[in-house]
Amino acid sequence: MQPLDNLDTPCLVLDRGRVAVNAARLRDHLAGLGVPLRLHVKTAKCAEVAALVLQGEKAPITVSTLKEAEQFFDAGYRDILYAVGFERHKLARAQALARRGAKLTLLVDSVEGAKGITGFPVLIEIDTDGHRAGVKPDDTARLAAIARALEASGCSAAGVLTHAGGSYHSANVAEIAAIAGQERDGAVMAAAALRRTGFAAPVVSIGSTPTATFASGMEGVTEVRAGVFVFFDLVMAGIEVCRQEDIAVSVLATVIGRRADKGWILVDAGWMALSRDRGTARQRVDQGYGVVCDLDGVPIADLIVTEANQEHGIVARRDGGAPPELAFGTRLRILPNHACATAAQHERYHVVDGGREVAAVWQRFGGW
């Protein structure tokens, strides 16, 4: 073990206990609704984190890159859903993974996308909230045309998938719960439309962390995908999906200067360490580039990263008042706006168990 204040900065800190509690909360909620979790591993990109969340079980997972699929296959995971629209230039790589024994499920939302994919189960993406890609749930003709194109190419139309990404912009919990119902109903409707036209469509896959957290019914759903709940972040706290004290990941930074005339404290964590994500800017409380905490992870009243250069973070009070006297060399922890984006800036997690001692170092990977 070594203390956090001995580490080179900036670096990524992960609270293992918070991850375990966050995971147990969602697992228990979904178990009560009678539907399994298909963990989205894109947030952590780390086999040790997945093992912690899934309690060591090599359960079905969701990925957003073929690199994730390959890395997690090597870690023992076999049932893998690639939940990004598939294009044929990736076919040889996907086939190579399938030949090694992966049950790899792909995703399309058009007849054009369906053509030329051979030998895979494929889900059709459904747009239930106008957030991104997908077929409207009631567009039976288009759904059937995609399913026919898949089967003509030698694939099975395995079902439907939707992602209620619009839930990230909700104003309150009641709105998230309503979107969760809309997400479920739209996916179930689309699957029923496929079945009426002769396709089995056994899979109905839905999910986002907000809707998974506040869903009250899962009738007709076969699996729920979620990922950011593992770490949580300030965007999730801003829409009341979690509390700030549930956030399991932070960036360790060091005070490297002060501008008393401007009310600034300078730290060595800029956007290269924190990311440029400003997801809280449109929420009720704008958290800048992150909430500043002491070395124990406790927020320092009203202190945020207000600006970020490549390697410099500018820390100031939200109200523009004089910041606290933080000595040169003081270590701070910064809670991220978007856990996925911030974690992607780093190569490893420095794992703590609620204190200041690093108990383990877990590698993470990047790339596509």
- Pairing relation of β-strands 264-267 and 313-317? antiparallel
Quote the CA–CA distance of 320 and 76 in Å, as a whole number: 51
Task: Give me the chain's average pLDDT, please.
Answer: 97
| pLDDT (tens digit per residue) in 181-197 | 999 999 999 999 999 99
- Token pair for 299: 């927020």
**Interval 125-144 mean pLDDT:** 95
Nearest residue to 130 (alpha-carbon basis) of 172, 161, 167: 167
Q: Is 53 domain-assigned?
A: yes
Quote the CA–CA distance of 147 and 157 in Å, as a whole number: 5
CATH of the domain at 307: 2.40.37.20
- Work out the percent of the chain whose per-residue pLDDT is above 70: 100
Give the gyration radius of the chain's Cα atoms.
Answer: 22
Which of 61-65, 93-97, 321-325 shows the lowest mean pLDDT across its residues?
A: 321-325
Judge whether 4 and 351 are in contact, CB under 8 Å: no
Q: Is 196 domain-assigned?
A: yes
Residues 6 and 40 in one domain: no
Residues 316 and 188 in one domain: no
List CB contacts of 157: < 8 A, sequence separation 6 or more: 122, 124, 146, 147, 150, 151, 194, 199, 200, 201
10: cis peptide before it, omega within 30°? yes
> Please, which residues bridge with residue 106 across strands?
122
Phi, psi (degrees; rounded to nearest 5) at 247: -70, 125
- Token pair for 220: 């007709």
> Please, which residues bridge with residue 156 across strands?
121
Residues 258 and 205 in one domain: no
**Cβ-based burial of 51 (10 A; exposed 0-12, middle 13-18, buried ≥19):** middle
Quote the CA–CA distance of 330 and 332 in Å, as a whole number: 7
Amino acid at 235: V
Residues 195 and 63 in one domain: yes
Q: Is 22 domain-assigned?
A: no
| pLDDT (tens digit per residue) in 239-267 | 999 999 999 999 999 999 999 999 999 99
Quote the CA–CA distance of 165 and 184 in Å, as a whole number: 13
Residues 144 and 40 in one domain: yes
List CB contacts of 221: < 8 A, sequence separation 6 or more: 35, 184, 187, 188, 204, 205, 206
pLDDT of residue 226: 98
Quote the CA–CA distance of 337 and 105 in Å, as a whole number: 31
Question: Total domain count for the chain?
Answer: 2
Nearest residue to 169 (alpha-carbon basis) of 210, 133, 135, 226: 210
Residues 224 and 263 in one domain: no
Q: Is 320 domain-assigned?
A: yes
- Token pair for 143: 């759904």
DSSP letter at 131 equals: S
Picking from 199, 231, 263, the residue at the C-terminal end of a domain is: 231
CATH of the domain at 106: 3.20.20.10
Residues 208 and 264 in one domain: no
Q: Is 29 domain-assigned?
A: no
- Work out the percent of the chain whose per-residue pLDDT is above 90: 96
Residues 224 and 266 in one domain: no
> Please, which residues bridge with residue 108 across strands?
124
Residues 268 and 188 in one domain: no
| pLDDT (tens digit per residue) in 73-113 | 999 999 999 999 999 999 999 999 999 999 999 999 999 99
Quote the CA–CA distance of 49 and 312 in Å, as a whole number: 29
Residue identified by tokens 């406790």 is 298
Residues 155 and 51 in one domain: yes
pLDDT of residue 116: 86
Residues 69 and 168 in one domain: yes
Q: Is 117 domain-assigned?
A: yes
Picking from 206, 231, 256, the residue at the C-terminal end of a domain is: 231
Range of the domain at 98: 35-231
Alpha helices in 76-133 (DSSP H): 91-99, 111-114
Instruction: Enter the pTM of the model.
Output: 0.96
